[in-house]
Amino acid sequence: MKPFLYPNQLSTIHLRYLFLLLIAVAIIWSGIKITEFYSNAEIKSVPLHTSMYQPGEAAGMVIKKIEQELFNLTSNEYSNYSTEVLKVMIPGREEIEFCSAILGKLKNKNYTETYLGNGLWLVDIDKEFLPPNLKRHAPAIQWHIFEQSGIIHNISGHLLTNC
């Protein structure tokens, strides 16, 4: 009669089970240590309504952007273009007047600045101050300012998207 397992097979099977047992113990031990670490650690989170900016800082960024845009609109950067191209590229008096009016309101602090949470600000100007010929260009005058990237995004869809 043959034995069920040969001696060299018996030791191989035992080694496999022992190896699997050691792996299971290591996984369980690691899980316990990770749980202890996170249960003892002080978890720091930034509340939703905590901002990196001070009040007025988001509007200040919009002011700088509009000043730069006005400079670009009124500069002599179009001197090398043909007349046909200039008709499309050169801003009209209305566009410059529109940006100037918005800039004046921002500089006089006639705006609403709201922190929306998660690093997002909203700067809003009431469009009622605009003369009738410019109101048609602005359903609203609003910008989103993203704290982390410093991006200023015009969300109002008015005449010049950069102002």
Residues 111 and 123 sit within 8 Å (Cβ to Cβ): yes
Q: What is the pLDDT of residue 88?
A: 52
Tens of pLDDT, residues 51-74? 788 888 999 999 998 888 888 767
pTM of structure? 0.59
The residues spanned by each domain of the chain are 1-41, 57-154
Split at pLDDT 50, 70, 90, the class of 158 is: low
Whether the pLDDT of residue 76 is over 80: the answer is no
What is the distance between the alpha carbons of residues 89 and 151, in angstroms, rounded to a whole number?
Answer: 24
Residues 125 and 141 sit within 8 Å (Cβ to Cβ): yes
Using alpha carbons, select from 134, 67, 140 the residue that is nearest to residue 94.
134
What is the distance between the alpha carbons of residues 149 and 125, in angstroms, rounded to a whole number?
Answer: 23
Taken in order 35, 37, 38, 39, is the CA torsion positive or negative? positive
Instruction: Identify the residue with better confidence: 71 or 6.
Output: 71
CB atoms within 10 A of CB 5: 11
